[in-house]
């Protein structure tokens, strides 16, 4: 299936807005399912899931995104953007049907409900990944002279969808969760109808005559190795007992691409790939956890914090053009990293509505330009990589946050739940709770994920309650408050992610300055190098 070139002289705005609504649809699925999984009356009371299992349910709607976005990027120039668009919409609608069905049978058959909600999350992720697989190269192609600006505007659709779906879901209050999950069908049908008759452009790499092998060389063995490692960790965690088979499959994938291309990949591309792990965790990971983290701190629905930060992102991305042109993409990312660090640190210690939303404003200003500006840099600096390099950074980011980001943030919260209790005066009055100023080891359980990649200590089940038996109400309240509100403190530790990004972006800035400044590469002029 081939697509017809629209030509870059007169971009088809119907095509752009169809892509925009497609991205809105992905965030509809993200936020409604995350809100569902933050509701203990569903996860705990109805489905019988514990917190660790909820984390797995959250992760399943994240990491398969990478499978589809990278997989489709390898073949999208063959199967066509239109086929990819139809596949994405169908997946999103199927998820809605599975979610509604699962909730309707949960009371009588909780196992079937869990299966439908779990595997439905995987189908949603595949559809969402396919959306990005076609919208990013389409927009980068039709606006090939101003990629970063228009990719920022396009990606205003993500926070825009979070705002719309978040407000609808919150305002629906105690309405049936099936109705809340079903709202994704509306934007899915809208973009399907808008785009079904559109003529899609030929991607820049294809129209310039760059070969498929040369596209793969931009990604190279280095990029394939990162993908292979992340896929192995996720598969090994999801389907335990098959480590050897997964090592062979994932290793063969990376080595095979390396042998075929005889390329390690472009060094700048490899660095951008590595940056996507802390970047995705800063944005997507924090967004996925923040409602649950702040729920015990605020008296209003904690989802309003995510909606508020998403409004800021949406507005700023729409007006990204002047900001990008005045600062340049790398300086913009440096400034964004600083704001994200300050915002997360502030969020970790504030109280009161005004202070919380003030800190959230700083965090929102920081995270706004990360994702689309990175896409712009990749598209401008590796045009030979076509859809693969452009989409792979998104795929790797989502894979990394699903595999490492979400569980690492969870581990940070578990650590804080222990350290915050040890740090209050009331803990010293409880016999057997502390030892040399730390929680006694007998009250804790050592855990690790991915062969010790993520390790932490958590409370043994019921152990803290046993130690508090017979203590005064004041002591029990003080200790439980410290434990329950510790998640907010963990937000400060999450500032390590934009901190890593800040160092990397400064290195990239110095690299480009040594070459005379940041300049997009043009396939028509210098072949992309």
Mean pLDDT of 380-395: 88
Q: Which of 180, 202, 224 is the last residue of a domain?
A: 202
Residue 244 within any structural domain of the chain: no
pLDDT number for residue 65: 84
Cα Rg of the chain (Å, integer): 23
Among 188, 181, 182, 187, residue whose Cα is nearest residue 32: 181
Is 291 in the same domain as 440? yes
According to DSSP, residue 286 is labeled: H
Is 167 in the same domain as 293? no
Is 344 in the same domain as 473? yes
pLDDT number for residue 525: 55
Is 436 in the same domain as 313? yes
Mean pLDDT of 252-262: 94
Is 197 in the same domain as 289? no
Residue 318 within any structural domain of the chain: yes
Domain hosting residue 384, numbered range: 266-521
Report the domain count for the chain. Answer: 2
For residue 193, give the CATH number of its domain. 1.20.1250.20
Residue 207 within any structural domain of the chain: no
Distance from C-alpha of 459 to C-alpha of 484, rounded to nearest angstrom: 12
Q: Which of 202, 230, 251 is the last residue of a domain?
A: 202
pLDDT at 498 over 90: yes
Is 425 in the same domain as 319? yes
CA separation (Å) from 172 to 30, 53, 106, 282, 494?
A: 17, 26, 21, 29, 32
Is 36 in the same domain as 110? yes
In this predicted structure, which of 52-61, 77-86, 251-260, 433-442 has the lowest mean pLDDT? 52-61
Is 184 in the same domain as 286? no
User: Highest mean pLDDT range out of 45-54, 405-414, 501-510?
Assistant: 501-510
Residue 217 within any structural domain of the chain: no
In this predicted structure, which of 53-62, 327-336, 467-476 has the lowest mean pLDDT? 53-62
pLDDT number for residue 5: 42
pLDDT number for residue 39: 86
Among 150, 143, 133, residue whose Cα is nearest residue 201: 143
pLDDT at 321 over 80: yes
Distance from C-alpha of 162 to C-alpha of 183, rounded to nearest angstrom: 12
User: Highest mean pLDDT range out of 5-14, 87-96, 222-231, 447-456?
Assistant: 87-96
- DSSP for 333-372, written as a single string: HHHHHHHHHHHHHHHTT--SHHHHHHHHHHHHHHHTTHHH
pLDDT number for residue 453: 73
Mean pLDDT of 13-40: 92
In this predicted structure, which of 49-63, 264-278, 312-326, 376-390 has the lowest mean pLDDT? 49-63
Is 330 in the same domain as 187? no
β-sheet bridge partners, residue 456 = 447
Is 159 in the same domain as 281? no
Among 134, 118, 135, 133, residue whose Cα is nearest residue 60: 118
Mean pLDDT of 474-492: 86
Mean pLDDT of 26-30: 94
Residue 227 within any structural domain of the chain: no
Mean pLDDT of 519-526: 73
pLDDT at 41 over 70: yes
pLDDT number for residue 400: 86
Kindly report whether the global pTM for this prediction surpasses the value 0.85: no
Q: CA triplet 341, 347, 349: central angle to 5 degrees? A: 115
pLDDT at 4 over 50: no
Model confidence over 160-204: pLDDT tens digits?
998 999 899 989 988 889 999 999 999 999 999 999 989 888 877
Model confidence over 70-103: pLDDT tens digits?
888 888 888 889 999 999 999 999 999 999 999 9
Q: Which of 156, 181, 202 is the last residue of a domain?
A: 202
pLDDT number for residue 2: 41
Is 332 in the same domain as 459? yes
pLDDT number for residue 10: 62
Residue 448 within any structural domain of the chain: yes
Residue 228 within any structural domain of the chain: no
Distance from C-alpha of 93 to C-alpha of 87, rounded to nearest angstrom: 10
Mean pLDDT of 377-384: 91
pLDDT number for residue 331: 96
pLDDT number for residue 52: 65
pLDDT band at 279 (very low <50, low <70, confident <90, very high): very high
pLDDT number for residue 7: 42
pLDDT number for residue 45: 87
Model confidence over 341-352: pLDDT tens digits?
999 999 888 888
pLDDT at 149 over 80: yes
Distance from C-alpha of 250 to C-alpha of 242, rounded to nearest angstrom: 12
Residue 248 within any structural domain of the chain: no
More confident residue, 24 or 493: 24
More confident residue, 385 or 238: 385
pLDDT at 308 over 80: yes
């Amino acid at each position: 299936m081939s697509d017809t070139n629209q030509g870059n002289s007169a971009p088809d705005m119907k095509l752009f807005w169809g892509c925009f609504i497609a991205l809105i649809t992905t965030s509809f699925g993200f936020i409604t399912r995350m809100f569902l999984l933050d509701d203990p009356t569903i996860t705990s009371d109805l489905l019988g899931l514990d917190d660790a299992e909820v984390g797995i349910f959250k992760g399943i709607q994240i990491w398969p995104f990478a499978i589809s976005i990278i997989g489709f990027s390898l073949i999208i120039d063959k199967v066509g953007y239109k086929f990819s668009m139809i596949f994405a919409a169908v997946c999103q609608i199927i998820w809605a049907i599975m979610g509604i069905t699962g909730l309707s049978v949960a009371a009588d058959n909780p196992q079937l409900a869990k299966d439908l909600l779990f595997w439905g999350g995987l189908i949603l992720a595949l559809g969402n990944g396919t959306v990005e697989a076609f919208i990013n190269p389409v927009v980068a192609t039709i606006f090939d002279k101003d990629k970063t600006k228009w990719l920022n505007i396009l990606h205003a659709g993500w926070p825009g969808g979070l705002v719309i779906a978040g407000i609808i879901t919150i305002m629906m209050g105690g309405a049936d969760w099936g109705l809340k999950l079903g709202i994704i069908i509306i934007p899915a049908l809208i973009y399907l109808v808008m785009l079904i008759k559109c003529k899609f452009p030929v991607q820049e790499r294809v129209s310039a005559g760059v070969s498929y092998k040369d596209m793969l060389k931009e990604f190279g063995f280095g990029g394939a190795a990162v993908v292979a490692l992340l896929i192995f960790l996720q598969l090994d965690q999801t389907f335990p007992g098959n480590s050897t088979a997964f090592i062979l499959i994932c290793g063969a994938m990376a080595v095979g691409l390396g042998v075929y291309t005889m390329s390690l990949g472009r060094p700048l591309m490899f660095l951008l790939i590595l940056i996507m792990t802390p970047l995705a965790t800063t944005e997507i990971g924090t967004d996925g956890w923040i409602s649950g983290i702040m729920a015990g701190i605020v008296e209003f629905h904690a989802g309003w914090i995510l909606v508020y930060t998403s409004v800021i992102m949406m507005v700023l991305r729409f007006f990204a053009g002047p900001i990008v042109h005045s600062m340049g993409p790398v300086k913009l990312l440096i400034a964004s990293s600083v704001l994200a660090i300050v915002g997360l640190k502030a969020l970790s210690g504030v109280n009161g509505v005004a202070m919380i939303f003030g800190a959230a404003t700083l965090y929102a200003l920081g995270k706004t330009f990360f994702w689309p500006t990175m896409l712009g840099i990749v598209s401008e600096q590796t045009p030979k990589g076509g859809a693969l390099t452009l989409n792979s950074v998104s795929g790797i980011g989502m894979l990394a946050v699903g595999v490492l980001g979400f569980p690492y943030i969870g581990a940070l919260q578990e650590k804080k739940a222990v350290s915050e209790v040890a740090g209050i005066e009331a803990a010293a009055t409880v016999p057997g709770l502390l030892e040399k100023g730390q929680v006694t080891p007998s009250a804790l359980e050592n855990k690790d994920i991915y062969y010790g990649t993520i390790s932490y200590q958590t409370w043994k089940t019921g152990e803290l309650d046993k130690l508090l038996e017979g203590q005064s109400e004041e002591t029990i309240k003080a200790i439980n408050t410290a434990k329950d509100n510790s998640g907010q403190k963990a937000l400060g530790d999450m500032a390590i992610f934009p901190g890593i990004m800040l160092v990397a972006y400064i290195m990239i800035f110095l690299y480009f300055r040594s070459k005379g400044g940041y300049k997009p590469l043009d396939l028509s002029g210098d072949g992309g190098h």
